[in-house]
A and B are shown apart, each in its own frame.
Chain A
Amino acid sequence: MLFNSINFVIFFIVVTTLYFALSQKYRWLLLLLASCYFYMAFVPIYIIILGFTIVVDYFAGIYIENAKGAKRKLFLTTSLIANIGVLCVFKYYNFLNENLSILLSHLGHGNPFPFLLILLPIGLSFHTFQAMSYTIEVYRGNQPAERNFGIYALYVMFYPQLVAGPIERPQNLLHQFYEKHEFSSERVSSGLKQMMVGFLKKLVVADRLSIYVDTIYSSSSSQSGKSLLVATVFFAIQIYCDFSGYSDIAIGAAKVMGFDLMKNFNRPYFSLSISEFWRRWHISLSTWFKDYLYFPLGGSRVKSISRRYFNLLVVFLISGLWHGANWTFVIWGALNGFLLIIESTLKIPFTTTSWWKRIIRTFITFSLICLTWVFFRASTASQAYDIVKKIIQFKGSLYFGNPKDHFLYSIAAILFLLIIEFMREYFPQKFKLFDNKSGIIRYAFYTLTIITILLFGVLDGGQFIYFQF
């Protein structure tokens, strides 16, 4: 079930109403059933896979807590193998097999392993990582093992963040299922406002830009450098609005019911450096990698600088693979890793007080991030390479799309987003729109937002990009 569908609107209203109508004792059960229904609306059979990892991790958590010494590690390893194993089978098997086929064919052999005709379970990487953070935290002693199987299942399956995050930690989410959330008008309004912002980002900006991006990238060989440059910039905005829009809807929906989910985006395109970008982009995943991979590898506290760079590169290569089983994602991850290493080598300061330096650094950071997005969006590494080459050559005329007014909508949507984000970044206390003290201004902006969505939104139920991960 997509957030941007009428079905979800009905589902959300029904579940939220029932949630507040039921006594606290049964609320977790309602949320669990609703989450199962939500997940099964995509491909019902895949709930079995989710169920498998839930059962394994539930018992692993209890065994880790009860065991002592090496056995704790054994149970943790079992849980991690189960989770990563599921990821490998469903996400990476065909990718690995394809590369094996290429390798064997070069050696003059055939590949004896068959390809699997399976569809990637939706949001698999998200809930697998959330489940792994639970067993790791139990192992580290930061989280007591959850004894209520239903509550643990709900921790993994909580519908607002089930398919595309934010990837929560047990310390932040699990205890909230035991707390009684009274109906609060202020809180519900705040949640609904955040959802509205999410819908605006997704429907008016992301899905509008995707029309142009899809057209240009699907025929990149016959497109000009100018069109490819515009499409790449559009994609940078599209992916931000698509994913942060999803996160806003997820966080808002949870907030309506009284749950606090972690912030996932913090206006990343205003970053002054690549390292700052990664502190502002997909925060729940970046911190996951930092806590569970970068720090265990030694992080930046290792003695040798080359080891620190190695750690960075490993994290970003795995982050690339996390996004998709394709060499384009691996290159994307590697590029980000290399950019961070270069930045670290050049000892670029974290911040600057000069406004013109801020503008130049923001522009350079955005341009470099756009370069990496080419590899993220392209179907193959060679397509990405050709696109970058054409962009640098900067030849040919700009394609404005058909009909042309859609291009104008895209530009208008970007300008609108830029103004809003700029105001929120640099003047957070001024120009409050949804939280303005004046009721007239508040209601005017609620109305304007809904009118904008109805008049300019792309309302054909487009898929969220991050669902595929």
Chain B
Amino acid sequence: MKEFKIFLSKAAVLLIILIVSDVVIGFAITYVFNKQKSGKYFITTYALKNTNQDILVFGNSHAAQHFNTPLMAEKLKVSAFNFGVQGQSMLYYYPIIKSVLNYHKPKLIIMNLDCTELSFNPTNYQRLSIFLPYFHQNKYVDSSIYLMGGGEKLEAWSSLYRYNSTIGYILFNVSNKSENKSYKSLGFDPQYGNFCQKISMENENSISKKIKFDEKIIQSLSSLIKDIQNAHIPLVVTTTPLLYGIKQNAYRDKLKLLLMNSKVDYWDYANDESFVNKCNLFIDQAHLNKEGADVFTNMIMERIIKSNILNGSGTSANK
């Protein structure tokens, strides 16, 4: 019993030191975290707290690298911001857009979705770890963290765990060395170079034969559409160009049907002839370079102007 008491007292001392360290170091990292001037966390923090632009673009890297928001702001004479974050899915856009709608009413929301957006992919859930630094700051974010399953609900109580594997990234984005995905670039993440010299090893756009929809994603998309329409904000869903295009598939069909039933405009450029097989416009098989992004953004802007969305008419959603 005496031995057990000795052990317990030692363990208690260590536990107290650990809790204090967790709080103090966590506090210091949070301070530095909020000083970031670029990168995915800057974009996410900005969306959750400060955005006030007229045109908001949401999506993954296809949004971040393809929508030249500075060009849009200049040509359309409105403010715009690109909230695209690499590797993310509807599970990320949902809490972000929900949070934005709580405090801001933009003139237009562009939601860029992949052709396979509705498919089930466990990685989409793992990537929700991007929200860990925001634990207990926002109810939508907390619900997303819980979607990760496992022990996240418990582990997220540790401030240190919330910043797991992020220190290097945070320090880089505090140093202001990157202009991409920053306030200056309005979230745009331009890529340089082209795909003409590179050999495609396998078709990145090939779809697995086994079809598995993610009901959570379908529900989130439907819910977001409803919220945006109820707030009377014009919504356009887009799909960006692919070097080799994409064949009809069950995910794409379902997405089209869902958007049609919800009366949402869907601007699908996946097989657009202006881009298919134009390797000089791409950095890889699914991402445009800066030149391609400019061409694409100009096409989107023309369509925005033509459909007169920014003046409160034109899209199906507002009819």
A-side residues, CB < 8 A to B, are 5-6, 20, 182-185, 188-189, 219, 221-222, 403, 405-406, 408-409, 443, 446-447, 450-451, 454-461
Q: How far is the CA of A313 from the CA of B255 in the complex (A)?
A: 60
Taking CB as reference atom, which chain A residue is nearest B170? A405
> How far, in whole Å, are A403 and B165 apart by their CA atoms in the complex?
11
- The docked-state distance in angstroms from the alpha carbon of A447 to that of B158 is 14
The answer to whether B160 touches A455, judged by C-beta atoms less than 8 angstroms apart, is: yes
- Residues on B with beta carbons closer than 8 Å to the beta carbon of A189: 7, 10
User: Are A185's CB and B10's CB within 8 A?
Assistant: yes
B3 & A447 in contact (Cβ 8 Å cutoff): no
Closest Cβ of chain B: how far from A289's Cβ, in Å? 39
Query: Is the pair B17, A6 in contact by a Cβ cutoff of 8 Å?
Result: no
For residue B138, CB closer than 8 A to chain A, the reply is no
How far is it, in angstroms, between the C-alpha of A339 and the C-alpha of B150 when the chains are bound? 45
Nearest CB in chain B: distance from A138 CB, A: 37
Q: How far is the CA of A20 from the CA of B164 in the complex (A)?
A: 35
Known: A185-B7, A454-B164, A455-B164. A6 touches B154 (CB 8 A): yes
Chain B residue numbers with a CB within 8 Å of A221 are 201
B167 located at the interface, meaning its Cβ lies under 8 Å from any Cβ of chain A in the complex? yes
Q: Interface majority SS on A: helix, strand, loop or mixed?
A: helix
With an 8 Å Cβ cutoff, the count of chain B residues facing the other chain is 29
Interfacial chain A residues near B150, Cβ < 8 Å: 6, 461
Provided the pairs A219-B201, A403-B169, A456-B165 are in contact, do residues A185 and B4 lie with their beta carbons within 8 angstroms?
Answer: yes
Which of these, B3, B7, B199, contacts A182 with CB under 8 Å?
B3
Query: Which 8 residue pairs across A and B have the least CB separation, nearest first?
Result: A405-B168, A6-B151, A454-B160, A185-B7, A185-B6, A185-B3, A454-B161, A183-B3
Complexed CA–CA distance, A183 and B6 (Å): 11
- Give the contacts of B151-190 with A (CB-CB under 8 A): 151, 154-155, 158, 160-161, 163-165, 167-169, 172
- Kindly state the separation between the CA atoms of A90 and B158 in the bound complex, as whole angstroms: 43
Cβ of B151 and Cβ of A455 under 8 Å apart? no
Verify A409–B165 contact, CB threshold 8 A.
yes
5 A-B contact pairs sorted by A residue (CB < 8 Å): A185-B3, A185-B10, A408-B168, A409-B168, A447-B18
CA distance A189 to B10 in the complex (A): 9
A183 near B165: Cβ-Cβ < 8 Å: no
CA distance A139 to B100 in the complex (A): 75
Shortest CB-to-CB span from A395 to chain B, Å, is: 16
Shortest distance between the CB of B283 and any CB in chain A (Å): 13
Contact with A along B1-41 (1 / 0, CB 8 A): 00110110010011001100110010000000000000000
In the complex, are the beta carbons of A447 and B165 less than 8 A apart? no
Contacts A183-B7, A403-B169, A460-B126; is A443 near B164 (CB within 8 Å)? Answer: no
CB neighbours (8 Å) of A219 from chain B are 201
Contact A222 B201 (CB under 8 A): yes
CB contacts (< 8 Å) of B155 on chain A: these are 6, 459
Q: Contacts A443-B13, A443-B17, A458-B165: A451 and B4 contacting too (C-beta < 8 A)? A: no
**Bound-state Cα–Cα, A409 to B168, Å:** 8
Cβ-defined contact, B10 with A454, below 8 A: no
A446 to B25, CA, bound (A): 16
- Residues in A with CB closer than 8 Å to B21 are 447, 451
State in angstroms the CA–CA spacing of A460 and B17 once bound together: 25
Shortest Cβ distance from A182 into B: residue:
B3
Specify which of B126, B163, B167, B199 lies most central, judged by the most chain A CB atoms within 10 Å of its CB: B167
Known: A183-B4, A451-B21. 10 other contacts (CB 8 A): A183-B3, A185-B6, A403-B168, A405-B169, A409-B165, A454-B22, A454-B160, A455-B160, A456-B165, A456-B167
Report B-chain residues with C-beta under 8 Å of the C-beta of A5.
151
Q: How far is the CA of A6 from the CA of B199 in the complex (A)?
A: 43
| Complex Cα gap A458–B129 (Å) | 12
Contact with B164, one of A222, A406, A456 (Cβ below 8 angstroms): A456
